[in-house]
């Protein structure tokens, strides 16, 4: 068979296959098809069936088209038809998946809705704003096309017309299209321009709301947008109208509702002066929240009379939202509000630490200094050998070990007794239905070795799945007491190149390896120069910090994320309490 057209059925031409399918889906409508685009010049056919790969990027004058989506029986085929043909437009709307215009919320993936994340996971192509955090694309499937279409005031950007054309073009191709917008797409997000372009061509679409920047900014301050007794309404406004003119405040007298100003940083002084002219008292509280939802988020508070100068002095940039109203004041509702913390652990560990710290108000910056990477493992270390103990000393070891067992087809019912240290490691095992037979009283390698020796290792064989970079202390301690102690190196640690120290108040080292990586990247002197508060988890980490001349001021009692968050909270609480005690004296 040498026919270049896709074979939709078992017999006949492509046009016959498509015509047959249309008759099945729409028995009440006759849609005669041709196989040559020139057929549309006459009146004999309603549309022309062609291979989808032959479609032009944009329709020819007086023509329209669409490709059948990948999940349809007619995948690989396309239809050309006359522009404005209402019957074919309706048929197209039936087959094409709707374009999804979704709000990604401000900043990172944490503020995305579940529906938006699910849409991203199914998308073939994603048009994404520059205001969306980098991690919103973590849900995208491998192979999805990412199209950056950021628009920033005063900077080179993709025009709205180009974005509209891109959405229409990809929708016509039968692809699942997602347009990701920062914040809520319906609030100063040019939603009408994009839905209008789709609606004009009878292309299906849906809109998924997102967390708006004003709502997120108020939440960052720990305060409401509205208050029943004194702020029962709020006005959303922008710095300038589309044509560049002022957006007036037609208010006078004592009626002073709360205001949320979008895209107003560059004209902040003018806008707040307009509010005073509209009857707002000069002492009305106001706050500007910069880069809301990102690790660099911060707030500057004052009044409508003082805020412009304060924002200039503090170097507040964009994007920023300005909130005006009696309810907006200095945020002090959380113990770690305003504290910026650098988490240099590998991403899984940093994510779990971040969940606890952000609950307390901290802003967390994830910039990993280590990355676990699998390495080849000899099957002979496991098969044909009998072990009495398997010992886990790190959080990542269970992941790599059980992934390897699954690849090798190992029956877990043959697993020997299990020993482990560290709550994260133990929780990983429990998540797989494995309760460790031995957990030492302290989460250290020394305590683990002592407990195993006391259990009686004479004639026993021990397997230690580990990182190639891990110390050999446990194996060396057990070897004199056991028949055999085998170390199975499952993964190594890659040290990413990180040349800049993040803008942070605190750095929390979760392992000795993160300290080694920081030294290799030349970051330790910069941490010292910045005067950053240093934290370390576990004796190996704090010992290494001591040797590097960076003693840890924050040392949690355990290794869990909750214990770490409590130690950070205790450190800053002690600073506040000491200051208050000094004032009392």
Query: Active-site residue numbers?
Result: 129, 151
Q: Measure the CA–CA gap between 169 and 58, rounded to whole angstroms.
A: 7
Give kind and range of the element (H or E) at residue 100. strand 99-103
Q: What sign has the CA pseudo-torsion 398, 401, 403, 409? A: negative
Half-sphere exposure of 93 (CA within 13 A, CB side): 15
Neighbours of 152 (CB within 10 A): 12
- The arrangement of strands across the sheet holding 77-82 comes to 33-34, 47-51, 77-82, 63-67
Question: To which residue do tokens 């005063």 refer?
Answer: 154
Secondary structure class of 327 (helix, strand, coil) = coil
Q: Measure the CA–CA gap between 564 and 537, rounded to whole angstroms.
A: 8
Q: How would you write 14-67 as a 3-class SS string?
A: HHHHHHHHHHHHCCCCCCCEECCHHHHHCCCCCEEEEEHHHCCCCCCCCEEEEE
Asked whether the beta carbons of 485 and 475 are under 8 A apart, the reply is yes
Burial of 347 (0-12, 13-18, 19+ CB in 10 A): middle
User: Structure tokens of 19?
Assistant: 């015509």
Question: To which residue do tokens 């955090």 refer?
Answer: 133
Q: How would you write 186-245 as a 3-class SS string?
A: CCCCCHHHHHHHHHHCCCCEEEECCCCHHHHHHHHHCCCCCECCCECCEEEEECCCCCCC
Put residue 107 in one of left, alpha, beta given phi > 0 → left and psi -120 to 50 → alpha: left
Query: DSSP characters for 368-429?
Result: -S-EEEE----GGGTTT---SEEEE-SSSHHHHHHHHHHHHT--GGG--EEEE-SHHHHHHH
């Amino acid at each position: 068979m040498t026919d270049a057209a896709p074979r939709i059925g078992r017999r006949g031409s492509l046009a016959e296959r498509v015509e047959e399918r249309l008759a099945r889906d729409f028995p009440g409508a006759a849609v005669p098809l041709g196989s040559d685009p020139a057929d549309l010049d006459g009146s004999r056919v309603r549309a022309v069936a062609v291979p989808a790969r032959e479609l032009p990027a944009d329709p020819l004058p007086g023509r329209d088209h669409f490709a059948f989506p990948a999940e349809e029986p007619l995948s690989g085929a396309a239809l050309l038809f006359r522009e404005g043909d209402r019957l074919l437009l309706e048929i197209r709307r039936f087959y094409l998946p709707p374009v999804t215009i979704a709000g990604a919320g401000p900043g990172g993936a944490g503020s995305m809705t579940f529906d938006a994340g699910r849409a991203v996971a199914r998308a073939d192509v994603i048009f994404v704003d520059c205001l969306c955090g980098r991690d919103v694309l973590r849900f995208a499937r491998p192979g999805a096309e990412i199209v950056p279409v950021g628009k920033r005031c005063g900077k080179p950007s993709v025009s709205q017309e180009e974005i509209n054309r891109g959405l229409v073009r990809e929708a016509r191709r039968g692809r699942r299209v997602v347009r990701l917008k920062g914040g809520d797409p319906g609030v100063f997000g040019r939603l009408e321009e994009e839905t209008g372009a789709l609606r004009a061509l009878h292309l299906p679409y849906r809109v998924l709301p997102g967390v708006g920047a004003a709502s997120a900014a108020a939440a960052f301050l720990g305060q409401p947008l509205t208050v029943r007794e004194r702020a029962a309404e709020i006005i959303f406004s922008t710095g300038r109208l589309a044509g560049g003119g002022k957006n007036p405040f037609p208010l006078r007298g004592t009626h002073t509702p709360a205001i949320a100003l979008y895209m107003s940083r560059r004209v902040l002084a003018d806008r707040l002066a307009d509010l005073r002219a509209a009857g707002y008292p000069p002492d009305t509280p106001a706050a500007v929240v910069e880069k809301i939802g990102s690790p660099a988020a911060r707030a500057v508070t004052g009044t409508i009379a003082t805020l412009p100068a304060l924002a200039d002095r503090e170097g507040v940039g964009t994007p920023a939202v300005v909130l005006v109203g009696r309810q907006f004041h200095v945020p002090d509702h959380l113990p770690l509000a305003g504290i910026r913390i650098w988490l240099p652990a590998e991403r899984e560990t940093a994510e779990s630490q971040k969940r606890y710290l952000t609950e307390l108000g901290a802003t967390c910056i994830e910039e990993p200094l280590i990355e676990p990477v699998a390495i080849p493992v000899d099957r002979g270390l496991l098969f044909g050998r009998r072990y009495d103990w398997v010992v886990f000393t790190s959080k990542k070891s269970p992941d790599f070990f059980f992934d390897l067992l699954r690849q090798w087809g190992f029956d877990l019912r043959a697993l020997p007794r299990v020993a482990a240290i560290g709550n994260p490691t133990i929780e990983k095992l429990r998540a797989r239905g494995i309760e460790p037979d031995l957990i030492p009283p302290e989460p250290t390698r020394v305590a683990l070795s002592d407990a195993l020796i006391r259990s009686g290792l004479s004639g026993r064989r021990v397997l230690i799945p580990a990182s190639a970079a891990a110390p050999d202390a446990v194996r060396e301690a057990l070897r004199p007491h056991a028949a055999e102690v085998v170390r199975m190196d499952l993964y190594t640690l890659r040290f990413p190149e990180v040349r800049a120290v993040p803008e942070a108040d605190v750095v929390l080292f979760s392992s000795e390896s993160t300290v080694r990586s920081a030294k290799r990247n030349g970051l330790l002197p910069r941490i010292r120069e910045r005067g950053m508060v240093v934290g370390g988890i576990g004796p190996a980490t704090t010992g290494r910090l001591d040797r590097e001349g960076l003693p840890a001021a924050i040392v949690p009692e355990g290794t869990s994320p909750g214990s770490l968050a409590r130690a950070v909270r205790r450190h800053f609480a002690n600073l506040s309490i000491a200051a208050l005690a000094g004032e009392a004296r």
